[in-house]
Structure formats: C-alpha cells, structure tokens
Amino acid sequence: MATCLFDASNSVICTGGNFAAASAATGRSSGWLNIIKRLFSSVPFDVYVFLMIAALMGWHLPPQITLVVSTLGNANPFVAMLIIGMLLEINIERSQLKHVLTILLLRYGSAAAFACLFYFFTPLPLEIRQVLAVVVFAPFSSLSPIFTSRFSGNLSVVASFANSASIMISIVIMTVLLTSMQL
C-alpha cells in the first residue's frame, strides 16, 4: 500500500509537475494560470487526475473496459523494457558526462537523505519506513528525456544517458537494500 501511495503521488510530479515547474523556472511559462495550463497539457497527468477523482467518488469502469485495459496492462513489462532499450543512449561526449555525473550525484544524494529521514525519523511502522527508504531510489521517470527534449534538443542526450544509468544504478541499490532488510 505504501508503494502504491508513493507511486501515485510521484506520478503526478513525473507526468507533468516537473515539466510545469521547469517551464516556470526557465521563464517559458510565467504566472499560475500558465503553469496550471502546462500541467494539465500532460495527458498522463490528466488521466491520473481523472482516475483519482473517479476513485474518490466511487466510480467504477464497466467490466468490458476493465477487461480490455487489463489485457493491455499485461503488456506493461514488455513495453517498459522496450522503452528502456529505446532510451539507452551510450553515445555521449566527455563534456556531457560531467553533467550526467552531477545529475546522478544530486539524485542519489537526495535519495539517500530522504531514505534516512524516512527510516530513522518518521513515526511509521517499520515495514512502511523500509518501503519508503527503498522507493526513493527508484530510477528517473521514462518521461524525463521526453520533457527534456521539449526544452532543449541538445540536452536530450544527457537526459537519455542519465535515465539509462539511473535504471542500472537503481536496480543495484534497491536490490542491495531489499536483501539487507531481509536479513
């Protein structure tokens, strides 16, 4: 349950929140109205908002739609691996590698700080603290390179490589954390 709640809130940020914030920070979108407009221009964000509202109101999809959607959802592991393969960008210049390392150090340094905060300083049950300490090390969103390319085409190589590296790094870190918590 804790993982699902973390993922639901994280998806709001990954599917439009970061892009809206970056648009405001770079001056491409000023004012709250433009930021909200940019946020709701993300189709995945719109779907998440609609589904959250539907769940809160107790709405249910008809069984026929659920059957079709669940069949499509079963393809998710294949699609995820396909996206990882498509985004795997190893052709990177040495000058860009410094940016990637900075991004990864900031990302995993922040994740380590949050993991410690969640694990040692929250008054939650041990299982939830463990889950939160692990999920903060999840890889970058696969939408990151797409949003980055919308800002600057030359940074999309950096974003793609950082995304690919984060997948490999996160798998190692999360595996180590999970196995050490089982002992």
Per-residue pLDDT of 123-151, as tens digits, reads 999 999 999 999 999 988 777 777 777 77
pTM: 0.72
Cα–Cα distance for residue pair 82/91, rounded to 1 Å: 18
Please tell me the predicted confidence (pLDDT) of residue 170.
93
Question: What's the mean pLDDT when you consider all of the chain?
Answer: 81
Query: pLDDT exceeding 70 applies to what percent of the chain?
Result: 85
Give yes or no for a contact between 137 and 104, defined as CB atoms under 8 angstroms apart.
Answer: no
Give yes or no for a contact between 183 and 173, defined as CB atoms under 8 angstroms apart.
Answer: no
44-81 pLDDT per residue, tens? 778 878 888 888 999 988 889 888 888 888 887 777 67
